[in-house]
Amino acid sequence: MTAAATLPTWNPLSLWYSDGWTVTKRNLIKIKRSPDMLVFAVVQPIMFVLLFSQVYAGAISVQGTDYVQFLMAGIFAQTVVFGSTFSGSAMAQDLKEGIIDRFRSLPMSSSAVLIGRTNSDLVLNTISMVIMMLTGLLVGWRVNSSVSEFFAGVGLLLLFSYSFSWVMALLGMSVKTPEVINNASFLILFPLTFISNAFVPSDTLPTPLRVFAEWNPVSSLVQAARELFGNEGTAPVPDIWTMQNPITTVLIGITVMLVVFVPLCVRKFASISSR
């Protein structure tokens, strides 16, 4: 047997998986060494749960259900959407520090950095979700559905956050400096989360905002989570296809984001350099 015959063979898929897992571990270790990032990622959703459930619950009523039951799906959706901004800010920071150029000089898959970035943010969002649910249980939130529906709801929220991370990663690679990413992302996130059915029923909004909220993908995500957690109450659901079929709408949105933004991110990554 020749020496060449004893060398291990690697197929492109195994290399892609290995490279992506290596970058994922690098990002998770970075979080471990910077615990303040994890602390703020956890404190923010706790703050929102306590603020809305304890301060505004007495002033906001929802037909057929307690406001805390109505609220929690909105808090979950808001948190996973906001959590996706870590992908954008981290990519922008790595570009500024020249880390991206170092990765590009290595014999690795061009998508591994992006896979590792979005995977580590998915882990961070999962931790935030667990903390939020425990906080929700303390303030009176309950799951009124089956175990399978509960896990389907959690999975849908996390899958949406993962697909939205690719949108934010593209934004992070497109801005000129890391300082811009927060302002740029808030211009997207605030309308999506606050002009929705996350905190108040959409039919209470003025007509232009109500129409936006009913077609807002975050509203579909919130409605899907409420149905899967058994928190929808008896309030009438708007007679709009996206609201009548929220789970299907969210799955379509997730597919579209992945199909569109994954290739765009990979192409953008191949063309950028440090700033």
pLDDT in tens, the chain (275 residues): 444 444 444 445 555 667 777 777 777 777 776 676 677 777 877 888 888 888 777 777 787 788 889 989 999 999 889 888 888 888 888 777 777 777 777 767 767 788 888 888 888 889 888 988 998 999 889 999 999 999 999 999 999 999 999 999 898 888 877 778 878 888 888 899 999 998 888 888 999 999 999 999 999 999 999 999 999 877 788 889 999 999 999 999 999 999 999 999 988 888 875 44
Tell me, what's the pLDDT at 161?
Answer: 93
- Residue at 6 is within a domain: no
- Residue at 74 is within a domain: yes
Residues sharing a CB contact under 8 Å with residue 97, sequence separation 6 or more, in sequence order: 274
Tell me, what's the pLDDT at 12?
Answer: 54
- Residue at 5 is within a domain: no
- pTM equals 0.86
Q: CA–CA separation, 120 vs 108, rounded Å?
A: 18
- Residue at 250 is within a domain: yes
Tell me, what's the pLDDT at 14?
Answer: 59
Q: CA–CA separation, 198 vs 236, rounded Å?
A: 15
DSSP state for residue 143 in the 8-state scheme? -
Tell me, what's the pLDDT at 1?
Answer: 45
- Residue at 2 is within a domain: no
- Residue at 85 is within a domain: yes
- Give how many domains the chain has, as a whole number: 1
- Residue at 54 is within a domain: yes
- Residue at 164 is within a domain: yes
Q: CA–CA separation, 53 vs 165, rounded Å?
A: 28
DSSP state for residue 62 in the 8-state scheme? B
Q: CA–CA separation, 152 vs 253, rounded Å?
A: 16
Helices 67-83 and 35-51, axial angle in degrees (round to 10): 150
Residue range of the domain that includes 247: 16-271
